[in-house]
Amino acid sequence: MKELNELILPEDVKFTDEHEWARVEGDHVRVGISDYAQDQLGDVVFVELPEVGSSFNKGDEFGTVESVKTVSEIYMPVSGEVVAINEELADHPEYVNTDPYGKGWMIEVAPSDLSEMDSLLDKNAYLKLLEEE
Amino acid sequence: MKEPIGTTGLALNEPLIWEKGRKGRTGFSLPKRDVEHAPLDEALTGDGPDLPDLSEVDVVRHYTRLSQWNYGVDSGMYPLGSCTMKYNPKTHERQAALPGFASAHPLLPASLSQGILRMMATLQRFLGEITGLPAVTLQPAAGAHGELTGMMIVRAYHNDRGAPRHKILIPDTAHGTNPASSVLCGFSPVPVKSNERGVLAPETVAELMDEDTAGIMITNPNTLGLFEENIRKIADIVHGKGGLVYVDGANMNAMMGIVSMGNIGVDLMHLNLHKTFSTPHGGGGPGSGPVCARQDLAPFLPVPRVKEKDGTFHLSYDHPKSIGKVHAFYGNVGILIRAYSYILSMGPNLKKASQLAVLNANYVKEKLKDTFYLPYDRPCMHECVFTDKWQEAHKITTLDIAKRLIDYGFHPPTIYFPLVVHGAIMIEPTETESKETLDTFIASCKAIAEEAKESPELLREAPTKPKVRRMDETRAARHPQLAG
Amino acid sequence: MRYLPHTDEEISEMLAAIGLKSLDELFTSIPEDCRRTDPLDLPEPLTEWELNRHMDALAAEMAVAPGYKIFLGAGSYHHHIPEAIRQLLLRSEFYTAYTPYQPEISQGTLQAIYEYQTFVTRLLGMEVANASMYDGASALAEALLMAIRVTKRKKVAVSRLIHPFYRKVVETYLKAPGFEIVELPSREDGTTDLSSIDHPEKYAGIAIQSPNFFGCIEDLRSFGGKIHEDPKTFFVVAFTEPLAYGLLKPPGAYGADIVCGEGQSLGIPQSFGGPGLGMFATKMKYVRNMPGRLVGQTVDKDGKRGFVLTLATREQHIRRERATSNICSNEGLCALATAMYLSSLGETGLRELASLNHDKAEYLKGALARAGVKIPFSAPTFNEFVAEFPDGFQEKHARLMEKKIVAGLALAPFYPELKNHYLLCATETITKDEIDALIREVAS
């Protein structure tokens, strides 16, 4: 397991206290799980994602991520409609481990209220949360 | 310690079975054809499945070699917590194989099947006596199947009173089957935290129990190997709100002749005949999970029920409140025959079996508590739970310890369960292990704990003695290859 | 007691090591008012030899072949089982092992189950099979629950010609969580009538048994087409006699989404109905929604081929209340028996044996018809079929039993309109002479 100072925590994303990240990209928000989350899970073997077109509220479960012996639910950082999912994860679930903020992204959302981003944690607040865990 | 019992020997490679054989061989003595061939519409017939053609010798060698890659209770100590891997007496195999039992058709009329019906009725009485819960069904085919049946009975009981309930209390130490079984019956599980002593506190149950809660599912002794000492108070609380107390009897091996579940407020429970009553685990089944209940719950038991009238036995279907059927026929009768034989061979000595099971667990706990961290240092029942806390400093985990035990010639304990204990190592020796076997096991554990400090690589690389080494489970799960 | 190794001396030594004086002191953590005070009221222990005598006597009260000629099928079939299989199953490394959670010392069980899964996919024409379930009935119930889970629909349709006990189990499983079951009627030829299904999209799954409870082979081709008018609706095919697929096209060839049923026929003793073998197979796209254990192929640290339990995140010990099923045990040893049985038969043997079963029943059917017994259903059958006897046969059926012949199963208790109808079965274990003897009795 990584020590806290080994974790990659980019400045351009925001975090939830359930360890998802969200990044504003144009009109949309891209979502994945944090470096901390992937490290805790271990080798990711499967990611279950919703259908494009489905809508969720902030905090709703939208999928699950599985390692060999655990399964974790993943929750919406913001409300909105899923406009794209990362199809590549079906064949390459390991991207969640190797590149959690890049090739390991999970869904893209058309947010219904972009101001919900403001309620998420920035890098420092997230790091503080991790220190407490 | 003396030389470890784990060693290496000649194991033989063996390919997948379809990589063997030649078209035209046969391993089967086909009966002579004494009737004419009758054609069947060709639109219906196919080519038949692609199976290898093998001789009897090919088949015998294949499975004999495969068997030699396995470790069973007959090979050595198998201290798998919560699984009760006790010795499986040989005479049971003889009894179940008697042609009168093995070849019996399940739809024979009662007049032609008195032997098995009598056996089932007597076994029901025995299990009722052992649990103190006299209404017994033998139909469930495994422990989890018994839980499901039990939860259906709980549901039927509340519905019959005209007040359906929707929640069920399940302690955080429970087996995963408990929440899964209750959901299948339409209940939402409500988790109950155990207290700092590792058991349930009556106050916690009182806070959660309400009139929409159907009851509580308790494993007693619990999965930490501790007796739920507040069971009577908890039962009073649950009964006070109209609920039922269900016990997961996976750990009944500590309780025979010691505690009568019917007398401490338990309304119904299941038994695992493949644990407590010595029937073989068969590499994962068949098992058998009878449910024992209070007499007034009898109307809800599955049909058919085995009944006696004037000394003859029959199967009775006329029980309108019954939950229905959970098995095509009457359960795993072949397993029931083995459990019945066990009870007849042991008689009142079953109490001695429980006493010695608890003695063995406490002996191991006492002898290893300076070797592995013991989170609850109290008298245990039939199993004890350690953790890898003291080995963490050397970056050695429970998994490494378990794998190294294989090199020493033992089956590993249950690991990483119960979930409430981080890095759990759950040891259940059972009563059929002798003191010298336990002493060798204890010495092996101590030697491994030393290795963890001195040469941790030995643990991380373990096991090295079996035919294969640690498996790439990530690869198996990422790109499942489930058939050849 | 020969299973308990402790001498009194050892017990004292062990108690001393714990710091106790008596075995009773081990139980002080159990409150006084929870302890049992009365002794277990069980018979005194039997010796091994007394037990043998007792069990022999019980077994002697059972009517079995060859003393009895039993023309019963209906979900439990009498077939020859090679002695080699009986002896191999007594390899105690197999039968005294637990679930293969430690793959390094369970490769025997794991490879055998992988081979079993493979055989099942080939026999049923499917892509993936699990490591087995309790029995055919619960496998069918689990199949319908899986269809409900995947489609998120709440209603299923089940043919009336599925084994009545299987339907009862399905009802028990589906009633508890509150799902609806629609029964599909039968047609005059002894097969299922699907004409009431106008909108397959209303159903999570539609289940048909083939050969069905009457032994009739269903027209799976037309059912598959009809059900898959909505490609999301699960076409579920059940069976009680898998030996039929040695001869018939497998259900997978007709697009079945789940094929499940009872494997007892393939090398497992009847044992009064259990243990049996719940066989369960589906398409690979549904694998993560499938109940039951799965064994997968992988490699070890040194790159050597090996097998592990895999996709365990579907199961109860990880996903708890969100598991695909509560199932934990499979019927491991029975699956092993079936793998051994299919290995012994091979492709050639299986086909010959299946054909022999079909032909024995056809011979019995033809002979009965010639003796004036009505064969009410015209659909082709496998190794069992329905015969309608004249009034008064019930008494003859009882008299035949005294002559140690069980002449089929009366159907009226299951299908009240089928008065005087009996389901008769003849497998390879019944000889022509025995069939002829039955015909003489029936005709007399």
The predicted model gives C187-196 an average pLDDT of 96
Interior angle at CA B241, CA B236 and CA B243, nearest 5? 80
The predicted model gives A49-60 an average pLDDT of 96
Tokens of C248: 């018939």
What is the bridge-based pairing of β-strands B414-415 and C69-70? unpaired
Question: How far apart are alpha carbons C240 and B47 in whole angstroms?
Answer: 21
Tokens of B74: 């007959």
Structure confidence at residue C100 (pLDDT): 95
Q: Is the separation of the CB atoms in B77 and B432 below 8 Å?
A: no
The predicted model gives C126-134 an average pLDDT of 97
Q: Is the separation of the CB atoms in C247 and B45 below 8 Å?
A: yes
Is residue C189 scored above 90 in pLDDT? yes
Is residue B1 scored above 80 in pLDDT? no
Question: HSE on the CB side for C100, CA within 13 Å?
Answer: 33
Is residue B174 scored above 90 in pLDDT? no
Structure confidence at residue A14 (pLDDT): 96
Structure confidence at residue C224 (pLDDT): 96
B59 to each of B207, C91, C196, C216, C242, how far by Cα in Å?
Answer: 60, 14, 49, 34, 21
Q: How confident is the model at residue A69 (pLDDT cuts 50, 70, 90)?
A: confident
Question: Which residues, in sequence order, are CB contacts of B387 under 8 Å at separation 6+?
Answer: B372, B373, B375, B398, B421, B422, B423, B424, B425
Q: How confident is the model at residue B477 (pLDDT cuts 50, 70, 90)?
A: very high
C164 to each of A84, B305, B328, C137, C411, how far by Cα in Å?
Answer: 47, 17, 9, 10, 10
Is residue C16 scored above 90 in pLDDT? yes
- Inter-chain touch B477–A94, beta carbons under 8 Å: no
A121 to each of A13, A114, B171, C110, C244, how far by Cα in Å?
Answer: 9, 15, 34, 47, 63
> What digits encode the pLDDT tens for the residues B412-429?
999 999 988 999 999 999
Q: According to DSSP H, which parts of C371-426 are helical? A: 393-402
Q: According to DSSP H, which parts of B284-389 are helical? A: 333-346, 350-368
> What digits encode the pLDDT tens for the residues B465-475?
999 999 999 99
Q: What are phi and psi of C39, to 5 degrees?
A: -70, 160
Per-position DSSP letters for B458-475, written without gaps between them: HHHT---SSSS-SB-HHH
Task: Find the radius of gyration of the CA atoms of chain C.
Answer: 25
- Chains in contact with C, where contact means 3 or more Cβ–Cβ distances below 8 Å, are A, B
Judged by phi (left if over 0) then psi (alpha if -120 to 50, else beta), residue A11 lies in alpha
Weakest-pLDDT range from A128-132, B137-141, B359-363, C23-27: A128-132
Best CATH choice for the domain C69-81+347-443 from the list 3.40.50.300, 3.90.1150.10, 3.40.50.150, 3.40.640.10: 3.90.1150.10
Question: How far apart are alpha carbons B468 and B270 in whole angstroms?
Answer: 37
Q: Name the residue among C125, C159, C311 with its Cα closest to residue B474.
A: C311
Q: Burial level of A92, CB count in 10 A (0-12/13-18/19+)?
A: middle
The predicted model gives B235-240 an average pLDDT of 98
The predicted model gives C425-436 an average pLDDT of 98
B chain contacts of residue C352, beta-carbon cutoff 8 Å: 30
Question: How far apart are alpha carbons B107 and C389 in whole angstroms?
Answer: 20
Question: Which residues, in sequence order, are CB contacts of C4 under 8 Å at separation 6+?
Answer: B349, B352, B353, B356, B431, B432
Per the prediction, chain B carries an average pLDDT of 96
Q: Name the residue among A13, C126, C213, C336 with its Cα closest to residue B49.
A: C126
Per-position DSSP letters for chain A, written without gaps between them: ---GGG----TT-EE-TTSEEEEEETTEEEEEE-HHHHHHH-SEEEEE-PPTT-EE-TT-EEEEEEESS-EEEEE-SS-EEEEEE-GGGGT-TTHHHH-TTTTT--EEEEES-GGGGGGSB-HHHHHHHHHH-
Structure confidence at residue C316 (pLDDT): 80
Q: Is B429 helix (H, G, I), strand (E, B) or coil?
A: coil
Question: How far apart are alpha carbons C174 and C194 in whole angstroms?
Answer: 21
Q: Give the total residue count for chain C.
A: 444
Q: Is the separation of the CB atoms in B256 and B226 below 8 Å?
A: no
- Inter-chain touch A69–C313, beta carbons under 8 Å: yes
Structure confidence at residue A68 (pLDDT): 85
Tokens of B278: 């010595």
Structure confidence at residue B310 (pLDDT): 94
Question: How far apart are alpha carbons B146 and B132 in whole angstroms?
Answer: 17
Q: What are phi and psi of B373, to 5 degrees?
A: -70, 130
How far is B335 from chain C, CA to nearest CA, in Å? 7
Q: Is the separation of the CB atoms in C156 and C147 below 8 Å?
A: yes
How far is C204 from chain A, CA to nearest CA, in Å? 19
The predicted model gives B473-478 an average pLDDT of 95
- Inter-chain touch C30–B229, beta carbons under 8 Å: yes
Question: How far apart are alpha carbons C352 and C350 in whole angstroms?
Answer: 6
Q: Answer whether C28 touches B (CB < 8 Å).
A: yes
Question: How far apart are alpha carbons C104 and C296 in whole angstroms?
Answer: 14
Q: Where are the domains of chain A?
A: 13-113
Q: What are phi and psi of B151, to 5 degrees?
A: -65, -35
> What digits encode the pLDDT tens for the residues C288-310?
999 999 999 999 999 999 999 99
> What digits encode the pLDDT tens for the residues B269-318?
999 999 999 999 999 999 999 999 999 999 999 999 999 999 999 999 99
Instruction: Write down the CATH number for the domain with range C83-341.
Output: 3.40.640.10
Question: How far apart are alpha carbons C425 and C186 in whole angstroms?
Answer: 21
> What digits encode the pLDDT tens for the residues B49-74?
999 999 999 999 999 999 999 999 99
- Inter-chain touch C45–B78, beta carbons under 8 Å: no
- Inter-chain touch B74–C409, beta carbons under 8 Å: no
Is residue A133 scored above 90 in pLDDT? no
The arrangement of secondary structure in A13-113, i.e. its CATH architecture, is: Beta Barrel (2.40)
Q: Is the separation of the CB atoms in B29 and C324 below 8 Å?
A: no
3-state helix, strand, coil in chain B (%, to 5): 40, 10, 50
Token pair 């499938």 is found at: C290
**Which domains, ranges and CATH numbers included, belong to chain B?**
92-348 (3.40.640.10), 349-468 (3.90.1150.10)
The predicted model gives B346-358 an average pLDDT of 98
Q: Is the separation of the CB atoms in B351 and B255 below 8 Å?
A: no
Chain C CA closest to residue B102: C271
Share of chain B above pLDDT 70, in %: 100
Q: Is the separation of the CB atoms in B403 and B71 below 8 Å?
A: no
Q: Burial level of B395, CB count in 10 A (0-12/13-18/19+)?
A: exposed
Question: How far apart are alpha carbons C270 and C289 in whole angstroms?
Answer: 31
Question: Which residues, in sequence order, are CB contacts of C416 under 8 Å at separation 6+?
Answer: none
Token pair 């201290």 is found at: B79
Question: How far apart are alpha carbons A102 and B336 in whole angstroms?
Answer: 57
> What digits encode the pLDDT tens for the residues C230-275?
999 999 999 999 999 999 999 999 999 999 999 999 999 999 999 9
> What digits encode the pLDDT tens for the residues B89-111?
999 999 999 999 999 999 999 99
A chain contacts of residue B473, beta-carbon cutoff 8 Å: 68
Chain A CA closest to residue B477: A45
Structure confidence at residue B423 (pLDDT): 95
What is the bridge-based pairing of β-strands C258-262 and C234-239? parallel
B chain contacts of residue C343, beta-carbon cutoff 8 Å: 17, 27, 51-52, 54, 58-59, 62
Structure confidence at residue B130 (pLDDT): 98
Structure confidence at residue C321 (pLDDT): 80
Chain C CA closest to residue A90: C285
User: Does C211 sit behind a cis peptide bond, omega within 30 degrees of 0 on the bond before it?
Assistant: yes
Q: Answer whether C436 touches B (CB < 8 Å).
A: no
ipTM exceeding the 0.90 mark: yes
How far is B310 from chain C, CA to nearest CA, in Å? 17
Neighbours of B347 (CB within 10 A): 17
Question: How far apart are alpha carbons C277 and C132 in whole angstroms?
Answer: 6
The partner residues of B373 in beta bridges, in order of sequence, read B387
Q: Answer whether A46 touches C (CB < 8 Å).
A: yes
Structure confidence at residue C136 (pLDDT): 98
Chain A CA closest to residue B480: A45
> What digits encode the pLDDT tens for the residues C33-90?
999 999 999 999 999 999 999 999 999 999 999 999 999 999 999 999 999 999 999 9
Tokens of A18: 């359930």
Is residue B2 scored above 80 in pLDDT? no
Q: Give the total residue count for chain B.
A: 484
> What digits encode the pLDDT tens for the residues C354-374?
999 999 999 999 999 999 999
Structure confidence at residue C9 (pLDDT): 98
C chain contacts of residue A49, beta-carbon cutoff 8 Å: none
Q: Name the residue among A30, A27, A1, A49 with its Cα closest to residue A108.
A: A30
Question: How far apart are alpha carbons B88 and B119 in whole angstroms?
Answer: 20
The predicted model gives C181-203 an average pLDDT of 95
Q: How confident is the model at residue B185 (pLDDT cuts 50, 70, 90)?
A: very high
A chain contacts of residue C313, beta-carbon cutoff 8 Å: 45-46, 66-71
Q: How confident is the model at residue B173 (pLDDT cuts 50, 70, 90)?
A: confident
Identity of the amino acid at C182: V
Is residue C115 scored above 80 in pLDDT? yes
Q: Answer whether C317 touches B (CB < 8 Å).
A: yes
Identity of the amino acid at C274: G
Structure confidence at residue B271 (pLDDT): 98
Q: Answer whether C30 touches A (CB < 8 Å).
A: no
> What digits encode the pLDDT tens for the residues A18-47?
999 999 999 999 999 999 999 999 999 999
Question: How far apart are alpha carbons C12 and C15 in whole angstroms?
Answer: 5
Q: Where are the domains of chain C?
A: 69-81+347-443, 83-341
Chain C CA closest to residue A72: C319
Best residue in A66, A70, A74 for a mutation probing chain C (most C CBs within 10 Å) = A66
Structure confidence at residue C4 (pLDDT): 97
- Inter-chain touch A46–B473, beta carbons under 8 Å: no
Q: Is C352 helix (H, G, I), strand (E, B) or coil?
A: helix
Question: How far apart are alpha carbons B280 and B83 in whole angstroms?
Answer: 11
